Structure 1
């Protein structure tokens, strides 16, 4: 049976500067990860396609093409992949191959308006696809790459201040120093106990990611707790202040996404949870905005790269 499913040709896609380019460790699921080369918005995507007929046999084809594609894939709707980017180049006219052939390609200064994302119910991916068209089944190979979108730090970044209270039992104030954080930032804050008549067993701070996909009435919401950070063990006393200091750099976070191509959103929340001796839980959530801050010197390097590519 293997004979019927084997392809008559091997296709290799090698991206330029692949060995020198930064690689991103991408989580496929809870147990699998893979590495993908990192690209930026406006950067060219170029490389070489090598096509090798197997066993030296002659291969007839009706054309060879390469595409650079951006898609949004909904896992609950596998029949629908939404292409928001599609560029194509013809590599060879109809003919035949008997020996290995190399075909260079270059998609210049490609606008990549969205960041790559691999979520619970949705995946946004960029990839190079090579198609060897045949009268029978086409032979297709794809190679994924990863895209980051950097943002300028916000000019205004107000703090978060909130009260949490249960009448005549509990009253606390909590404060976070700001509401917008870059992905390597530190969440700094404090919790102040004004009234404590409950026996608090412990308190924790969680970061929750909420993914919304689709549109009503076919809308899906998924929440996952990315980290739980215990900030207090034991019952606090009135007037006590608990400091908060949580480093974000060690966690698998993405930027906040809002209505990406009108297909999905990803939001982040800080959830403060108090648990009493009877295992009752009291919580308060506050939305925070996460953004990807460009490394130092990257903006100047990108501008220089654009000038070189356009010259």
Structure 2
């Protein structure tokens, strides 16, 4: 994969092309909008200690020259607080100097490598916070002339082994003398291509149920103290029953998580900046459109074996 970036300097023009080693064979990660959940980007994917290397190609228009005070490339990992830019923070910052001050003419290539660079967290694109990794190429210009700067994003994913303990979820829900149900989910920890399996058992039904749904909700918590913000969003809604059940009826639950690609792993206190939790929300709707629900937290993880 390569990125051709056109950059204009004052008094001259140049183009910057950044080419990653092994770009054609590298896997990619799709980035989704945190609000519409639609695909917005596709980035080259890296592991947590994988080397990031390639070359920067800078070309100056024929017959032109570009005076500069040095050329450098940086590897940066940053948490961006979208609602409070002053709280954003770079947690990784490495620099490679590509050339000393001079004058550029024609085309020149600059190889670079950030060897086994640590990438401590996953890429995350949220409503109020974003965690990104990127390469920043800077052609520093003389005083009073803006620098030429361009950024090139990449994605990072951590893979995990299956948790040793994975308890079932069992709960009872009662509404006075009107409704009494038991529900069970086989697992409380699921990988991103897993299947939510379970059942709902109706012990007592004295209200007219129109339908029953299972929702997946994501709660993003960003910041701390008075600056903390929370955002809850419904990522998935799956109907598991249509029509009124009778006493003693058992309804199976089978929901494929792979149908919802905008799901991410659960994140806990990432760089002391944000957390992401997921919940299964069982919803019953009666004939008067009143909603009855019971919510339970689940843990999502990215499996090392299947790459999801």
TM range (shorter): over 0.9
Alpha-carbon distance in 2 for matches of 1:90, 1:106 = 11
Q: In structure 1, what is the equivalent of residue 5 of structure 2? A: none
Once the 2 structures are TM-superposed, how far is the Cα of residue 257 of structure 1 from its aligned partner?
0.4
- How large is the Cα RMSD of the aligned pairs? 1.6
Structure-to-structure mapping, 1:154-303, within 5 angstroms: 154-251=163-260, 252-295=262-305
Once the 2 structures are TM-superposed, how far is the Cα of residue 266 of structure 1 from its aligned partner?
0.5
Alpha-carbon distance in 2 for matches of 1:182, 1:239 = 32
Q: In structure 2, what is the equivalent of residue 22 of structure 1? A: 27
Once the 2 structures are TM-superposed, how far is the Cα of residue 32 of structure 1 from its aligned partner?
5.4
Alpha-carbon distance in 1 for matches of 2:202, 2:91 = 50
Once the 2 structures are TM-superposed, how far is the Cα of residue 250 of structure 1 from its aligned partner?
1.6
The partner residue of 1:87 within 91, 94, 99 is 94
Alpha-carbon distance in 1 for matches of 2:234, 2:60 = 49
TM-score, length-normalised on structure 2?
0.92
Q: Which runs of 5+ in 1 are unaligned?
A: 299-311
Once the 2 structures are TM-superposed, how far is the Cα of residue 7 of structure 1 from its aligned partner?
6.6
The secondary structure found in structure 2 opposite 1:8 is strand
Q: In structure 1, what is the equivalent of residue 14 of structure 2? A: 9
Question: What do the CA deviations read for 1:201-229 (whole angstroms, capped 9, x no partner)?
Answer: 11100000110111121111111111111
The secondary structure found in structure 1 opposite 2:226 is coil
Once the 2 structures are TM-superposed, how far is the Cα of residue 33 of structure 1 from its aligned partner?
1.4
Q: Which moved more, 1:63-72 or 1:27-36?
A: 27-36
The secondary structure found in structure 2 opposite 1:56 is coil
The secondary structure found in structure 1 opposite 2:304 is coil
Once the 2 structures are TM-superposed, how far is the Cα of residue 122 of structure 1 from its aligned partner?
0.8
TM-score, length-normalised on structure 1?
0.91
Q: In structure 1, what is the equivalent of residue 153 of structure 2? A: 144
Residues 7 and 139, structure 1, Cα contact 8 Å, conserved in 2: no
Q: For the structure 1 residues 175 and 118, does the alpha-carbon distance in structure 2 shift closer, same or farther, using more than 3 Å as the test?
A: same
Once the 2 structures are TM-superposed, how far is the Cα of residue 35 of structure 1 from its aligned partner?
1.1
The secondary structure found in structure 2 opposite 1:222 is strand
Alpha-carbon distance in 2 for matches of 1:57, 1:163 = 76
Question: What do the CA deviations read for 1:215-246 (whole angstroms, capped 9, x no partner)?
Answer: 12111111111111111111110000000001
- Runs of 4+ more than 4 Å apart: 3-7
Q: For the structure 1 residues 28 and 169, does the alpha-carbon distance in structure 2 shift closer, same or farther, using more than 3 Å as the test?
A: closer
